[in-house]
Amino acid sequence: MLRIYDTRARQVEEIAAGRALRIYTCGPTVYRHAHVGNLRTYLMSDLIRRVLELRRVRVLACRNITDVGHLSDQGVDKVVAQAQAEERSVRELARSYEDAFVADTSALNLRPPEHSPRASETIELMVELIAKLIERGNAYAVPDGSVFFDVRTFPTYGEISGNRVDALKPAHRIDAVDPRKRFHADWALWKPADGELSWETPWGRGFPGWHVECSAMSLRYLGARFEIHTGGIDLRFPHHEDERAQSDSVAGHEVVRHWVHGEHLLFDGRKMAKSTGNVVLLSDVVAAGLDPLAVRLAFLEHRYRQQLNLTWDTLRAADRTLRRWRSRVAGWAESVSEPMAAGQVQRMEAAFEDDLDTPSALRILRELERDESVPPGAKFEAFLHVDQVLALDLSTEIGRAPTLPAGAGELLTARERARATQDWAASDRLRDELAERGVHVSDTPEGQTWSLS
C-alpha cells in the first residue's frame, strides 16, 4: 500500500492502513508568516494522505495551531512578544497569522485536516493530561506553580532522535541547572505566568509547555493509538521525544506507530530562517509572477527526506513546466478519449507508494508526455489520474484554451509522429497545412507547442 521511512525504526516500513488511517501533524506557531521551508513539511503530510486516498483509504487528519506556549530562546512566548512588537492583541495577531497560513496551504492545494484545534482553546485537555502524569508518578509540581515531566520515569526516551538520557547536557542558554528540577533534562509541562495568555489550574495561574499541547490534542482527536505522526526534522528532539514520553506514559502503551520527518529546505544554498535574513514567503513567489503551485512542483522534484536547495531559477523552471503541462492537457482534451496508459500509470503509482518517490513519478510523467506511441486521449486520462496526488491543477486550462479547427488535432498528432521518426519532409508539410488552418506550430526541447494565428 504505502512504504515510508520511520525515523524511530530507522528503516522504510509498510503502513498497515486497512480502511482508515489517522495522521497527526505538528502545526504552525502563529506569530509570523510561514515561509516556504515551513510549508514543505505540510506538503509531506498531504502527499501521504493523497497516496492513501488513491487506494480508497479514509484518512483522518489533525493539525494543531500553536497560539500559546512556544517560548523563544529568551524564555518569552513568541506570540506574546510579536503581539507587543506589532501593537496588537495576542488574539488578533494569532488569528491573523493563522488565516494567512490557511490561505497559503490552500494555494498549495494541501487538503485541510478534519481537526485543527488551537492550543489556547484546549487548555482543559492539557490540564487533565498533566494531572494524570502527576498521578502516575511521571510528573511533579514545585512550589512556584511549575510542573515538570520526570524524564527518568520513561526508560525508552531518545528512541526517535538517538539521544540518551544519561548523555544529555543542560541547554546552552542555561548557565546553571534549574534547582527546581529533579534532573536537568526534565521539561516543563506547566509554567507560572499572569497576563492575557494564562489560566487558573490546581498548581496556580500559568500557561502550558509547548510539548504537552500536541500530546493532549493528538490523544483527544485521534485516540490512544494512531498510525502516523509527521513534522520537520528539527522536531525530532526535543519536541517529539517529549511528546512521545508524555503520550505513552498516560496511555500505558506506544501511541504512535510511525514517526515521519521531512528534511530542511535551503534557499540559494543557505538555511531558510529569519535569523539569517533568508526567508521567502509564498506571497513573494506570487509577486514574482509565478504560480504558487510552481512551489509544490519544485518540492515534488525532490524526495521529502532529502535536503532541498531551492532557487529562483528552479521556481521559474517549475512554473514553465506547469504551464506547459496545463496547455498540453488542454490540447489533449480535444482528442478522442482513450484508456489511460496503464503501464506508465502503474509505475507512477508504485513510485508514490515507495517512500513518496515523487522525483521518479515525475520522470515517468515526462516520458509519457514525449511518448509518441501513446494517443493524446490516453495521455489526457493518465495526467489527470496522477494529478490526484500531484495536485498541480493540470486541468485548469481546459475550456480556456482556444479550440482547434476541425482536423487540426489529427494533423498535430501526425506531425509529432513524423518528428519522432525524423521524417522532416512530412513534418514541414504538416506544419504548412496547420498554418493554412490558422495554427502556428513551434518546436521546443520538450516537443511541439501550438497557438492560433
Q: Please report, in range form, the residues annotated as the binding site for ATP.
A: 274
Q: Can you give the pLDDT at residue 75?
A: 66
Binding-site residues, please? Answer: 26, 214, 239, 243, 274
CA pair distance 191, 44, nearest whole angstrom:
33
Which residue is listed with cell 513518496?
356
Range with lowest mean pLDDT among 125-134, 240-249, 295-304, 426-435: 426-435
- 201 phi-psi bin (left φ>0, alpha ψ -120 to 50, beta other): beta
- Residue 2's pLDDT is 95
Least confident of 141-155, 348-362, 432-446: 432-446
SS3 181: coil
Rounded to whole angstroms, the Cα distance separating 423 from 50 reads 42
Distance in angstroms (rounded) separating the CA atoms of residues 452 and 437: 9
What is the C-alpha separation between 238 and 226, in angstroms, rounded? 21
Give the CA angle between residues 279, 4, 350 to the nearest 5°.
Answer: 105
| pLDDT confidence band for 390 (50 / 70 / 90) | very high
61: β partners: 23
- Classify 310 as helix, strand or coil: strand
CB atoms within 10 A of CB 202: 12
DSSP 5: E
For residue 448, what pLDDT band results from cuts at 50, 70 and 90? confident
**Quick one: pLDDT at residue 438?**
86
Instruction: Tell me the pLDDT tens digit for each residue of 71-124.
Output: 776 667 888 889 889 999 999 999 999 999 999 999 999 999 999 999 999 999
Cell of residue 121, nine digits: 482553546
Of 159-173, 274-288, 371-385, the poorest mean pLDDT is in 159-173
**CATH code of the domain occupying 3-262:** 3.40.50.620
Residue range 259-311, pLDDT digits in tens: 999 999 999 998 887 777 789 999 999 999 999 999 999 999 999 999 999 99
User: What pLDDT shows up at residue 36?
Assistant: 96
Average pLDDT, the chain: 92
pLDDT digits (tens, 9 = 90+) for 43-55: 999 999 999 999 9
Q: What percent of the chain stands above pLDDT 70?
A: 97
Q: Rounded to a whole number, what is the distance in angstroms from the first to the last CA of the chain?
A: 48
* CA–CA gap between residue 345 and residue 361 (Å, rounded): 9
Q: With the C-alpha atoms ordered 180, 187, 222, 123, is the resulting torsion angle positive or negative? A: positive
139 pLDDT more than 60? yes
Q: Please confirm whether the linkage preceding 238 is cis (ω < 30° from 0).
A: yes
Residue 401 pLDDT > 60: no
How far apart (Å, rounded) are the C-alpha atoms in residues 217 and 250? 13
pLDDT at 74: 63
Residues annotated as binding site for Zn(2+)? Answer: 26, 214, 239, 243
Q: Are strands 11-14 and 3-6 parallel, antiparallel or unpaired?
A: antiparallel
Q: Find the range with the poorest average confidence among 12-26, 161-175, 407-421.
A: 161-175
pLDDT band at 133 (very low <50, low <70, confident <90, very high): very high
State the DSSP code for 400.
T
CB 32 within 8 A of CB 82: yes
Strand partners, 343: none
Nearest to 329 by CA among 380, 256, 259, 283: 380
CA-CA distance, 329 to 384, in Å (whole number)? 8
What pLDDT score was predicted for residue 304?
Answer: 97
Host H or E run for residue 297: helix 293-300
Mean pLDDT of 1-29: 95
pLDDT at 1: 82
- How many residues appear in the chain? 453
- Is this model's pTM higher than 0.85 or not? yes
Give me the amino acid identity at 65. I
Q: What is the pLDDT of residue 113?
A: 98
Q: Pick from 453, 439, 440, 449: which is nearest to 419 by CA? A: 449
Cβ proximity of 369 and 328 under 8 Å? yes
Q: Per-residue pLDDT averaged across 228-254, rounded?
A: 97
Provide the residue ranges of all domains of the chain, joining segments of one domain with +.
3-262, 291-401, 408-453
Looking at residue 176, its pLDDT comes to: 60
Residue with cell 491543477: 393
DSSP for 356-386 reads: S-HHHHHHHHHHHHH-TTS-HHHHHHHHHHH
Task: Grade residue 171 by pLDDT with cuts at 50, 70 and 90.
Answer: low
